[in-house]
Every structure is written in structure tokens, then in C-alpha cells.
């Protein structure tokens, strides 16, 4: 008796049906295909078995991105998120359940996708993006950002630019060193999606003025010359909390006891400096940096980002060029335009950018730090400044290292002239907004300035 032929596994048949629509796109020509697109079954095989995607953020946008990418055939996805799940997340971050509260967002999101979509393997990383070096980021074909932090966006943007290689002959960017970044952002009923090809198209720093203004306070002002109620709150949050460690744990903006403690200490500091306006509600706003989130907006922006990832990975259609804005406050309105590279970009211009100073004899180092923090071009957080003098590296100020901050604090009140900083001098600035040190050139606007 001849052996019976076994029927094809049901899972194989279901798998063919699952990717039927993708095969229609990837295995045949269409009127909108790129001229160099080659229809082939290998395209889907590449998505499922070779292409490696990194999703940064597993919050409102991140959950949507992971779901979309997994259902679009991507088989190897990594996700980074340092946060844990809170009750307030559950109304829109649909990969999480009440039992997940307190657990890692990255791990729970990966577990959910892996269980629900067996063709996709999501690898979680419960960490900060700053915890990884360039060797980690070099393994990915495309990076997708679903972040709620401009600082984090600027950091990963700087990392990808620092990884570029340049041709020795003409100085052009080596295309093989480019890792595309797709960035999405939402706030209420507004959102945007953009495609960034580091070294070719406008980067995050090129269009920094498109982001809503960020309120930040230089540490030197917070510690030495507070003028606003927010300064008092930030002082307690940044300095007193770590120093006194009142509850033997990290600060939790959702814990009423933590907020009450900060409120009481901020009131004490405000009274010390005769500052009014510290309220419990203001303390909550400063501590939590609350940004409104709407599930439908997250879904639209994540879908746009995932579509751009798909187009870049397969070359089946031209990518968006290169910035899409979305608004559904009154009806639905969207438009796309090509953001242009900036010749004065801090990250991708490859030349030291100029910092204009009116008078070095009246401009103190603290004034310079305020410029770096408050000027729309720079928007730094806690810049540390060094320079070369007489062939030696000199640290002018650094707030992030306590011993160096104490040693260089006296420099804050000295003028740039008194510190010996000359017109055209290059200063090196380290800040949490960039993984690399940024070179800036001082430009004194007065033609004939007598140095003090």
C-alpha cells in the first residue's frame, strides 16, 4: 500500500492568506512603483527574515507602530522604552492590561505582539537610548521614533549623524552608512510624520524651530539666582530630592506624597527668595510635563510612519518628501512639504556654528549659558563648556559633575573677556541633547572691542 500524501499544514495556508495583499504590492509592477523596483517574492522574504527595525518608544505611538509593523510583515523588531506602565496609559496604549501596571512597557509590548503575531519576533530593551553605543544602532536597517521627548529625538538624530562616513575624494556622504529615521509626533488632535535620511535631508536640528517652545531653566540660575516659582520647583526636583531622598525611591509624579513634599520644599525656597506663585497645581505641571494624547491621532501618525518604513524597506514606492503635518481639530486637514537642510545646523552642517556676542566685557559666562539654553537655535539643557587655551584643554563650567561644578562655579560671574575668550575662539559644548560634543565659534559683534 502506497503511503498517503499528507495535506499541507493549515498554518501554511493561513500564512499565504495573511500576506496576500502584501504580495500584490511586492510581486507585481504598478503605476506608482519606483523605476528601479523589481517585483519578486524575495521582497517579502526580506521583510520577514532579514530586515531589522528599531522602534524607540512603546507608549501611545509605539504601541501603534509595533502593531502596524508586525502586521505589515516585518519579522525582526526591537523596541526601546525605559518607562513602566501606569493606569492612565491604558485608555490608548492597547498592548497593555490592568495586570501590567508597574511592569516594563517594552517587555509587555513585545510579549503581546510575539503571542498575537507568530511571524514577528519583538526584542524588548527596558533602557534609555543613551545606554547604547553606535555598534548597537548600526545593526538596524531603519529606526522609527515614537517619542514624547525632543531631547531624545535630538540625541538619536545626533547619533545617526555621528555614524555617517564621508568619501575622501569629494566629501560626500557614503550612502551605505545612512540609517534612515522615521519620526512621528502627536499632541492632542495634531501630529506630524517625517522621513530623515541623515546627511541628505533635513534632520531634527535643521528644523528645531518647528517644535513647540520648550521651557527649560539653566541649572546655574536654579541653584544661584532663582526668579520664578518654576525655578524653586525645579531646584527641589533636581537637587533637594536626590540630596534628601525622602521616600528612598525615585520621584513619581503620580504619587500625591511626592508632589506634596516637593510643594512644601518649593514654598520654603520661594519664601527665602521672596518669590510668589508656587501652587500645588503648578508643581504637578512642572514635574509631570503633561502632554495631551488622543488615541485616534496616534493611530493616524503611526500608520503614516509605518507606511514610510515599508516603502524604504522594499523600495516599492517613493518615500514621502519629507514632512507631513496632520490636524483634525476642525475636520481633517493634512499637507506635505519638503523641509530643507539648514546651513547653520548644529548637527549636520559639519562646520562650527557661530554664537553672536554683543560685548565680551559685559557678557558673563552665565549669560552665554543662558543663550545656549534659551535661544531657539540651540535649546540646550545643561551645557558644559570647555575650550583650548595655551595648548591646554580648560573646563569653563560643567553642571553635571558635582566636583567640577563647585570648582568652576566662580567662572559664571566673570565676563568672557576676563576668562580670556577671544573673538573667533572655538568652544566645545557637551549637552544631553547630543551624544557628541558640539563645536561653536564665538563672534563678537563689536568691531573694536577692548578686551578687559
**Beta-sheet pairing, 323-327 with 181-187:** unpaired
Nearest CA to 366 out of 433, 297, 418 is that of 418
The three three-digit cell numbers of residue 154, written as one number: 535630538
R_g (Cα) of the chain, nearest Å: 25
The answer to whether 412 touches 403, Cβ cutoff 8 Å, is no
CA distance 239 to 243: 6
Edge-first strand listing for the sheet containing 384-389: 353-357, 438-444, 426-430, 384-389, 392-397
Residue whose cell numbers read 570648582: 407
CB within 8 A of 136, min separation 6: which ones? Answer: none
Burial of 29 (0-12, 13-18, 19+ CB in 10 A): exposed
Is residue 299 classed exposed, middle or buried when 0-12, 13-18 and 19+ CB atoms within 10 A define those classes?
Answer: buried
Whole-Å CA distances, 209 to 153, 206, 289, 361: 14, 8, 19, 30
Catalytic residue selected from 63, 206, 220, 345: 220
Residue (of 217, 224, 184, 162) closest to 380 by Cα position: 217
Q: How many residues does the chain have?
A: 452
> From its phi and psi, is residue 188 left (phi > 0), alpha (psi between -120 and 50) or beta?
left
The set of cell numbers assigned to 186 is 502627536
Q: Cell 553672536, residue? A: 356
Is 220 marked active-site? Answer: yes
Cα–Cα dist 153/158, whole Å = 9
Report the DSSP beta bridge partners of residue 439: 428
Q: Are strands 52-56 and 76-80 parallel, antiparallel or unpaired?
A: parallel
Question: Which candidate, 75, 94, 73, places its Cα nearest to that of 85?
Answer: 94
Q: Please, is 64 exposed, middle or buried when counting C-beta atoms within 10 Å of its C-beta (0-12, 13-18, 19+)?
A: buried
Annotated catalytic residues are 220
Amino acid at each position: 500500500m502506497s503511503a498517503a500524501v499528507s495535506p499541507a499544514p493549515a498554518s501554511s495556508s493561513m500564512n499565504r492568506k495573511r500576506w496576500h495583499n502584501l504580495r500584490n504590492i511586492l510581486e507585481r509592477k504598478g503605476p506608482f512603483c519606483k523605476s528601479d523596483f523589481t517585483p519578486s517574492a524575495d521582497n517579502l522574504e526580506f521583510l520577514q527574515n532579514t530586515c531589522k527595525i528599531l522602534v524607540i518608544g512603546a507608549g501611545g505611538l509605539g504601541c501603534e507602530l509595533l502593531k502596524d509593523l508586525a502586521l505589515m510583515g516585518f519579522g525582526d523588531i526591537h523596541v526601546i522604552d525605559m518607562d513602566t506602565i501606569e493606569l492612565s496609559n491604558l485608555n490608548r496604549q492597547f498592548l497593555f492590561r490592568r495586570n501590567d501596571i508597574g511592569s516594563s512597557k517594552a517587555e509587555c509590548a513585545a510579549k503581546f505582539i510575539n503571542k498575537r503575531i507568530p511571524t514577528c519576533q519583538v526584542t524588548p530593551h527596558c533602557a534609555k537610548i543613551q545606554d547604547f553605543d553606535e555598534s548597537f544602532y548600526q545593526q538596524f536597517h531603519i529606526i522609527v521614533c515614537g517619542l514624547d521627548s525632543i531631547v531624545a529625538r535630538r540625541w538619536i538624530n545626533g547619533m545617526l549623524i555621528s555614524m555617517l562616513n564621508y568619501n575622501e575624494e569629494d566629501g560626500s556622504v557614503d550612502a551605505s552608512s545612512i540609517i534612515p529615521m522615521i519620526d512621528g509626533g502627536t499632541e492632542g488632535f495634531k501630529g506630524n510624520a517625517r522621513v530623515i535620511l541623515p546627511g541628505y535631508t533635513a534632520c531634527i536640528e535643521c528644523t528645531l524651530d518647528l517644535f513647540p517652545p520648550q521651557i527649560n531653566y539653566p541649572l546655574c540660575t536654579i541653584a544661584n539666582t532663582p526668579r520664578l516659582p518654576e525655578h524653586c520647583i525645579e531646584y527641589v526636583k533636581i537637587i533637594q530630592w536626590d540630596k534628601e531622598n525622602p521616600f528612598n525611591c525615585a520621584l513619581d509624579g503620580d504619587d500625591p506624597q511626592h508632589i506634596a513634599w516637593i510643594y512644601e520644599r518649593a514654598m520654603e525656597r520661594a519664601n527665602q527668595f521672596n518669590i510668589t506663585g508656587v501652587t500645588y497645581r503648578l508643581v504637578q505641571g512642572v514635574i509631570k510635563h503633561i502632554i495631551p494624547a488622543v488615541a485616534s491621532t496616534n493611530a493616524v501618525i503611526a500608520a503614516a510612519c509605518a507606511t514610510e518604513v515599508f516603502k524604504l524597506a522594499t523600495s516599492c514606492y517613493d518615500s514621502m518628501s519629507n514632512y507631513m503635518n496632520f490636524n483634525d481639530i476642525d475636520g481633517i486637514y493634512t499637507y506635505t512639504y519638503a523641509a530643507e537642510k539648514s546651513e547653520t545646523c548644529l548637527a549636520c552642517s559639519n562646520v562650527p556654528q557661530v554664537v553672536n556676542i554683543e560685548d565680551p566685557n559685559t557678557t558673563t559666562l552665565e549669560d552665554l549659558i543662558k543663550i545656549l539654553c534659551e535661544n531657539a537655535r540651540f535649546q540646550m539643557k545643561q551645557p558644559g563648556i570647555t575650550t583650548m587655551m595655551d595648548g591646554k584643554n580648560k573646563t569653563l563650567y560643567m553642571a553635571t559633575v558635582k566636583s567640577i561644578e563647585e570648582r568652576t562655579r566662580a567662572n559664571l560671574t566673570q565676563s568672557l573677556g576676563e576668562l580670556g575668550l577671544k573673538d573667533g575662539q572655538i568652544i566645545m559644548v557637551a549637552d544631553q541633547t547630543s551624544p557628541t560634543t558640539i563645536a561653536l565659534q564665538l563672534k563678537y559683534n563689536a568691531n573694536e572691542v577692548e578686551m578687559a
